[in-house]
Each structure stands twice: as structure tokens, then as C-alpha cells.
Structure 1
Amino acid sequence: MTDTEPEAVAAGLGAQDPATQLLPVGQDAFLAARFAGLWGNTARTVRALAEAVRDALRDDTPAGALLPGSAMSRALGTRLPVAQGPMTRVSDQASFAAAVAADGALPFLALALADGEQTRAMLTKTRSAVAGRPWGVGVLGFAPEDVRNAQLEVVREVRPTHAIIAGGRPSQAEALERDGIRTFLHVPSPGLLRQFLQAGARRFVFEGSECGGHVGPRGSFPLWEAQLAVLEDFLDRAEVNTAQDVEVFFAGGVHDERSAAMVAALTAPLNARGAVVGILIGTAYLFTEEAGCGCPTRTGWWPAETDPARSP
């Protein structure tokens, strides 16, 4: 079928004749091929899933992956394995970053398109406000080169402990890593993850389309499943201790205990290999008292009728 008009697509949906009809499937359709490759038929797939459930009930180790003092907490130097995602006009406030850091998470300032002078003022004030706790910056890898270079010059001068690059490349992360700034790359697809792993990158953010900001087309669960499969294949071929160098934030709809527990369960095999797992939360912070110290509504960015500070 070559006609992509919505009406024509809807009329062509069906499962009676795969040769002439379009089979309606979701973003997780790729799992069918992986399941077939791993288990071969429905019976073995069901048995493997049942055994995985029993393993999860027998072993409560995965639940500790997101507790205080977990591997990601130790890697970040924070009380919690939680990062606050960069949010323009919210997390570019030193007082907000200080509140996040004081409560045990890792704050990230959104540099967006700030010039060098604005970046220096923001970073120096935040460095003082966080009082020696870990903190980071969010950089747009696709920002105009002159803007990005001016920002990075200040970043290297002020030296936050961490950075996240959205739309970035391993070479950009490597440059910051050489300066002692642990840098995570947004990776929105399994193809990119394979390339980044091959290039030597080991710190990632897997951010589903439920997130705000700069996201890829995949929902969280399909993206996470695909990325975990890539990591599993990579680690199968890698040297024994390679998994210990892998640090991953999962993002996209993570906002409470239940959603965090789902990440812990999903990443149990990765944790078992020794990889380091945490969660990144963004939008949920908009509805906190602390966001009021830098909330866009204070500068008139939000229309009054959609002001998050007015939400019940």
C-alpha cells in the first residue's frame, strides 16, 4: 500500500490477509523477532516468562537498585540514585538546584541557549549554593556552535561534577570526561546506542517520548526494552568487567514509587551484570514547592490559565 492518507491507512488495517492488509502493531512489535530468536516458539516463551517472574519473586536484590546507597548513588556521590532532568527556566535557578541537591538527588541546570556571561553567572551561583554537593549541567549538543563553545568554556572553568548532552555525540562527551566531568548522552534509538557503545561511551540517558523536552519517537517501554537488548548483546561480547563502567538513567513517565519500581524490575538483568542504574525525573518537579524559586510563571512564561503553580 502506497497511499499514506489516514483514511486509506485505516481502511487497510486488518489481520485476515497480511499480503493485502496492514497489521496494526505497536512500537513493541520488534520484541516478536527477539522472542523468536531467543525462545523459538510460544511454549518456550511462556515458560521463560514464567521463570522470570519466579526469579523476581525469589530474589529481591533488584529492589535495592534504586534505594539510598545503591550503586548509582555511590557513582554519583548522592544519597539517592535520582537525577533531576534539565528544564529550561526551571532548573536554571541556583536555589532550585540547591533544594534538589540538599534532598539527596543530582540537580542539572539547563543551559539552553544562554550566552557565556549568563552561563558563568548561573554556574558560579549554583556552585556556591549546592555547597560542595554533586551537580550538573544540561547541554544541547545541537546548539549553535558559538553558543555551545561559549557555554563549554565556562563549564570547564567552573567544573560541575556532571553533564548531560541532549542531541550530542560521543566525542563531545569524551571531551568533558577528559576534564573530569562525568557526562551522560541522550540516546533515543538502539541504532545510536550501538554506535555510541562502539565509540566508547558508557554513560547514557534512555528517555522515552513521555518526557518533555528533546525526545525521540519511541515510548518509554519500547525504548527501554530495545536499549536493554542492545546492552545485553554488547556485554555478551565485551570484556568481563565492562558492565561496571555502564551507567544508565531511565526517564519518561517515572514520577512515583510504582513507576520507579517498574524500572527496577525491568533492569534486574542489567543490574545482575554489575551495571549502574538510576532514574531521571523532570516534569514531576514542576509541581513542587521548590520549583517556585525558579518556576517560569515567575517570569510570565506560562499563561495564567495553565500556570502549574495554580494547579490543585
Structure 2
Amino acid sequence: MGDIIKLDSVQDYNELLGVETLHPLVSVVDMSQLEMIRHSRKNFGFYCIILKQLHCGPLLYGRNQYDYREGTLVFVAPGQVAGNNDNGETLNPHGWILMFHPDLLRGTSLDKQMKEYTFFSYESNEALHMSERERQIVINCFNEIREELEHAIDKHSKQIIVANIEVLLNHCVRFYDRQFVTREIVNRDLLSRFENLLNSYFNSDKPQQFGLPSVAWCSGELHLSSNYFGDLIKKETGKSAQEYIQLTTIERAKELLSEGKRSVSEIAYILGFKYPHHLSRLFKKVAGVSPNEYRRVS
């Protein structure tokens, strides 16, 4: 029931699905052409983009409804586990699967850019919900890759396939930008929760116990993946989550300095800095003056 199927290669997944392998490093599967399949949890050794056809009706984002019933994209990176435990049910799936091995990208510009597509590290509840127009663009990209795979492999195949994957990924960046915008109310609420989380942290003894709050800790407390959280904060504030934490930390340092009751060393300890000069360095970087200089003019 809880077994995880290890898929090291594209061919491993093709065999599991019962489809022919046209290229050892990349495959496009139209799930509507598959026989009945069962649930399984899979450990992927390659990248996988899964278009799920949904018929769940409108989704409620904040106070508004957005009808993205046409499809959802889920992104899986090598080493990740995805899927559901086998409960005995069989599925007649609809959707598409694009799988490509990291070796396909070796020596290409896309290989160096993959880390910029942070949605491969998002959680499944942070998937990309698409409109009909967006879904059709994605399917067109899948078809372009599949048509190339159906030709005999030659010296141009890799370049053309990788170029089409890059076009698809760049469309996904645009679609996620749209999703961040359409979820503006939800995002503002998250930003407010983030601010409250930091304020609560600095009002407790946690800084003395654990040091400064990390992006990973904050995202975990807000039940988001670090990458999705970081991308969302960047979209909302123009600053990275780490920069936002640093700004909040220095604002709290300014408050304590203005009170005039504690030394810089005491304030550094209260805020969770390991050494006082770490506070002084960050303060000068963010505020443009040293803590003592700030105290003299405040």
C-alpha cells in the first residue's frame, strides 16, 4: 500500500505507463490514450511536468472566483516523490505528462537556468491553475515536443526539443505571475501573517534560543514551500524573504536603540545575533549608519 516505485529513467516511467520509448531522455504522454492505471507513489529521477485535467468548478481565491477547471500543472524535480498510495482503485486518466532527464540538458543554456524555475520545488498545493487559453498553450508545447520525438533522431533533435521545453517553462513563469496577481487578496493576507509571525518571534525569547528567524522556518510556519514563499514575497514587496526579515530585524533594532536603555551588545543578544558585530554590519548595510551613529541622531 505504501510502497514507493523508484523511477530512475524516462524508460522506467514509460514502461510503468505501458507506452513506447521514442527517446531515452525525454517523453510526452497523452494520458487519455492509456489503459486504466492505478495510483502509486513514485520517486522520480528526472523532471516531470504533469497536466491534470480537472472538473472541480470555480476555485475561490479570497473573495473572488476564478474558473480554472480546465487544468492544473504539477512540477516534479529529480529526487522528489509524487503521487498517491495505491488504494486499489483504477483510473481512466486525462491529461499529459512531459518527462525529461537532466542529461538531456547537459551542455545547453537551459541546464544553467533550471535553478531559476523555482516552481519545481513548490508543494502540490501550490500547483499552477490554468485557464483554457493557458492550457491550450501548454498542450501545444507538448505536441511540438512529441512531433519532434516522432521524427528520426538527428543532430538537430536535442537543440529543438530543449528549445521547446524552455519555451514551455517560460510560459509557466508568465502563468505563475498571473496566478500571483489573481490571488492578490490571499497574498496580502499571507504577507500580513508573515509580518505577525516576525513580530511574535521578536516579542518572544526565541531569538535568544534559536537566533534570527530563517526563511525556511517562516515558510514552514506558514505551511508553504520555501521557494513558493520566497517568490510570493518577492512579487508582493519587491524584496526577497531574507531581505524582508533583515528589514524587520533592523526596525526592531532601531526601536531598542531609540529607547536608550541597552548597549549594542545587549540588543544584538536580544535579537538573536551570535556576535554584536554581526548586528553592526547588517545595520550599516540596511540603515546606512552604524547602530551608535543612529542612536546619536535619533
- The TM-score normalised by the length of structure 2 is 0.27
Normalising by structure 1, report the TM-score.
0.26
